[in-house]
Structure 1
Amino acid sequence: MSSDGLIADFAHDDRDIDRILILNESEYGRASPNPSTDVVSTRASFTWRRDQNPAGQAIIPVIRNHFGDVVGFFWLIPMRIRAQEKNYVAATGANLVIAPEGRRTFGYTKLMRNFTDALKDTGAVLHFSFVSEENYKRLRAENSNRTFTVPLLLKPLEYGTLVKCHLKTEWQRFLANKARWILEPLFFRRPSLPGDTDVSVQMLDQFDESFDDFWNRVQDKYRAIVIRDQAFLKWRFTPVSARRYHILVARSPDKMLGYSVIRCANVRGIPTGLILDLLLLDSNQGEEAGVCLTAHAEAFFRSQKMSLIAALMVPGSAEYRVLRLLGCRNLGSVFSPRPFRFAFFVHREDLKSLSVKDWFVTLADFESL
């Protein structure tokens, strides 16, 4: 046993699962400094993440104290990606938690070494993760072409709720209300749909086989993207932990043009409509479909009394342009609880040319929303 009493291992049995759920609840539950509505805190959500992934079973490197209890863990989740027009096995690291007793020790180092060894055994050609601010700065200094900030695009829908939630003093609220007549036309306007279009939008109950056909037609739109076929989408958007997802599909008379996955959530006290995924056919008609999808999403969010729309989207993509066109703006520094720092690590020589500009990233790639 090492001097700090911590041992690197992997999660094995029900006792380990219980400890992981307790640590997650402690870190992200209602009583924590960083509460989240999406914490993996039930057996159902744990089983979904570990066992039901079509890319393979997740691995959970852990560290244990001298009693054998798990005091830290980091999920290693297999992913299938499309990179440079080929399919590969990849992985993502998610949900890193270390209990207070494991901090200020070599616990983090042991956990990451265990994670790295397990990653090598998977044969993953690369892995990616959303990283902490500290790691982001370190990685940017080492190689600025391997990490970037994904903009959080926001559109306010309901002025009064946002003022109440974000402005704490009476004078701030007074000034905000005085400025309402200026701000509402700029940020709160309702979208207008294309007048003459053969694009129709439907809300589906589940992902069907047409999503495989759509993926086959759109898979090489970006040089690096998690494979978004029917199997992945059904797993990623399984309604666990009381989440309720809504699937919007845009079609022309003869084919699917794009889809969006949305849901309503309470984020830091604000009723928020989340656009979790938006992927469009690479054509003018695809972008027209994106306008229709986003407008329908907004109409749904308004009907559900949401105060804000939020979407994570890489700049330069057609989907980013569509969201901007519909009034979403990069206001993450004002409303977001955190910046979304994305990093990737390549383990195969012929993929070393991948850069930050090649990736397509949305909230679907974030670990738990």
Structure 2
Amino acid sequence: MDVTLRRADPGDDVAIRALLAGAFDANPKARADFTRWQYWDNPFGRVRSWVAEDGGEVVAHWAAVPVPLVLGGRRVVGAKGVDIATAESHRGRGLFTALGRRLVGDCADAGMPALLSHPNPRSAAAVERVGGRLVARVPVYVLPLDDRWLAERFRLPVPAARAARAAVFRIGRGDPVETVPVPPPDLDALWAHVAGAVRHGIVRDAAWWRWRYADRPERPYRIVVARRAGRLTGVAAVTTRAAFGARFGFVLELLAVDAAAARGLVCGLAAAADDAAGLALAAIPRSRLAALAVRAGFRRLPRRLEPHPLRFLVVAPGGDSAALAARPWSFAWGDLDHL
């Protein structure tokens, strides 16, 4: 039977969720409230979602979720590629590539100048076949909070690990902080202060934070804010999960006007991370986020502990993907929809 490729709409929601549930264990996209939040009620624009259908059954899917971007200092609506999945019965037929080409063409028709992708190893080749070009392999930076974890991972006696943590992973003093239940109302002023350093990447203003962290159906996040003389100087978000042989606080966002604000945020994140063995964040080397993280005590995780860093690719629908990928990009773990 011939497979049909077509644009999806809300009427396909049940079938798309069933496919995603079968492709990935414990996938939150199996829930209608998640696809409603990310796809159908997205405040930044209409989702571009494509399916392959065989005999009335959805057997493959790929979507581009609208996100606010800045490209070369200009604000635009771009897209984040998500939820590449093929039913086991239809793998090996080239459906990823066929769907991807239509998805990229749809984004071009919609005037979306960039499609961001952070694929798993199985999907990376498909993204490259439809024009994806590598921006960076994004390493992890860590701040150990537990001497025993540091001793085990770096093969040190515990007293030596304690001394190393005090000497190498020093946070230092920073701005006063507090943990808050929702993103602060004056986030736009903070974004305006730091936006000049973000030439290409997600617009992390109040609208982004509200959608990503307040409106998301599940919100396993702690939000920490820093202030100086009453003025918002930083905001960060953290979630705790198993990684690196322990429980770690994954820092999804770290916006700070300077190093003092970043150090204050990191102190607050350490307190909010619920007995985690450490904090971790991902940043493109030599980016502003990487520099702030290092000044707040983080150090890059050795390659032997992270043999396969995250791949960040970008497609320029209707344009030059290689030129777009070569530009200076910003990235944080909050760009990933599954964290």
Instruction: Name the structure 2 match of 1:310.
Output: 280
The whole-number CA distance in structure 2 between the counterparts of 1:238 and 1:44 is 14
Instruction: Name the structure 2 match of 1:79.
Output: 67
Alignment partner for residue 69 of structure 1, among 53, 57, 62? 57
Instruction: Name the structure 1 match of 2:44.
Output: 55
Give me the CA root mean square deviation: 3.4
Distance 1:337 1:204, change over 3 A: farther
Instruction: Name the structure 2 match of 1:271.
Output: 247
The whole-number CA distance in structure 2 between the counterparts of 1:271 and 1:47 is 30
Say whether the 8 Å CA contact 1:11–1:62 is kept in structure 2. yes
Alignment partner for residue 289 of structure 1, among 237, 244, 261? 261
Aligned residues: 338
Does residue 19 (structure 1) correspond to residue 8 (structure 2)? The answer is no
The whole-number CA distance in structure 1 between the counterparts of 2:133 and 2:89 is 35
TM-score, length of structure 2 as denominator length: 0.85
The whole-number CA distance in structure 2 between the counterparts of 1:350 and 1:76 is 18
> What code does the residue aligned with 1:157 have?
L
How do 1:86-125 and structure 2 match up within 5 A? 86-125=74-113
How far residue 348 of structure 1 moved from its aligned partner, in angstroms, is 7.2
How far residue 306 of structure 1 moved from its aligned partner, in angstroms, is 1.4
SS in 1 for 2:214: coil
The whole-number CA distance in structure 1 between the counterparts of 2:337 and 2:170 is 30
Instruction: Name the structure 2 match of 1:236.
Output: 212
The whole-number CA distance in structure 2 between the counterparts of 1:267 and 1:69 is 37
> What code does the residue aligned with 1:120 have?
A
Q: Deviations over 1:270-290 (max 9, x none)?
A: 422110011222xxxx21110
The whole-number CA distance in structure 2 between the counterparts of 1:55 and 1:367 is 15
Question: Which deviates more from structure 2 when the two are superposed, residues 103-112 or residues 358-367?
Answer: 103-112
How far residue 232 of structure 1 moved from its aligned partner, in angstroms, is 1.1
Distance 1:136 1:237, change over 3 A: same
Say whether the 8 Å CA contact 1:8–1:111 is kept in structure 2. yes
> What code does the residue aligned with 1:19 have?
A
Gaps of 5+ in 2: none
Q: Percent identity?
A: 21
Distance 1:156 1:188, change over 3 A: farther
Instruction: Name the structure 1 match of 2:270.
Output: 298
Instruction: Name the structure 1 match of 2:191.
Output: 215
TM-score, length of structure 1 as denominator length: 0.79
The whole-number CA distance in structure 2 between the counterparts of 1:100 and 1:138 is 16
Alignment partner for residue 322 of structure 1, among 280, 292, 297? 292
Q: Deviations over 1:294-332 (max 9, x none)?
A: 12211222xx12123221112213331232244433327
> What code does the residue aligned with 1:20 have?
I
Instruction: Name the structure 2 match of 1:6.
Output: 3
SS in 2 for 1:48: helix
